[in-house]
Structure 1
């Protein structure tokens, strides 16, 4: 979120305005589909979504109107590209994965569910001071009773994107119900909850967010 622009609807460099946008993630996805969009704005009460062709840093330098609950968001110009070679390497069995606390999943070495991949460490750690926009998916896993929010979204990609832009919590994991298309955001990881709240359920996928340090 762009701090300083709370409750301010910028009226400069507007590309388009869409009404009846039911969620912030839908607004972000719509804005992200525009190559020239650098910022977007959203009001959860009026369901108004606005795309901008500029990035704003100082509200005193632009024209705006007061708009209760309106928030501005900068679209990240730096896109994380999935490398041709996975960070922890390819594998046939877990014996091929040399990083501590890693395992072989579908031919790729990944951190096991009790750890998180760190780009800076180049390996698997526990706990992040800052989180990335990438995830490891654990099919058939779910954490019960620790949701911070839930919504209907069309795809798992949208579910992960919502976690990455959520500011009201530190979103560590998301769970997607493939049967109901429900997305569950959580500030808890697998090791943060008691074993009684962890389960294996085929209709759920658990996405664990990577560290960004």
Structure 2
């Protein structure tokens, strides 16, 4: 009796499977085709032209009763106190710092620093890589928004793109990096973004006396 029940269940399962294949899956002819999403071609950094920006291309993007916001074509910012005429800047004059060379100089010349993970370098033990606008051959786009500007930084050699929004808000500067506007390439993922890491840095030549 038990054997008959098992045999009947197996026959019922076979009939149900055949009915599903004929009714929903369509005719079974040959092997199903496997489709793979095409991966983008690898980026050749040498083929990307470096863009030269005019450091003196500052233009006013916003102002309120106390502050004035200026942005240049490279994405650097300056904020001027309209009462005391003091200017905070994100682009320290590296020509006045002869000891500043190599990576630190390129970091100071960049409006951001970015940490990312490169899957291709995991086997070397290098977990976190740091990039700036210079070594990534940055392409910058500036667009006005209410109260400030939206800066789009395209790191062409990495295939990473992100936006930074700067706004004046009742006497202070607001800086944001929208997470939903970060675009990553295959194998490279953003860990952190440091917008304007040298903003407000005081240079030695600007000090009137020793100390702080």
TM-score (normalizing by structure 2): 0.21
TM-score (normalizing by structure 1): 0.21
Give 1 or 2 for the bigger CA radius of gyration. 2
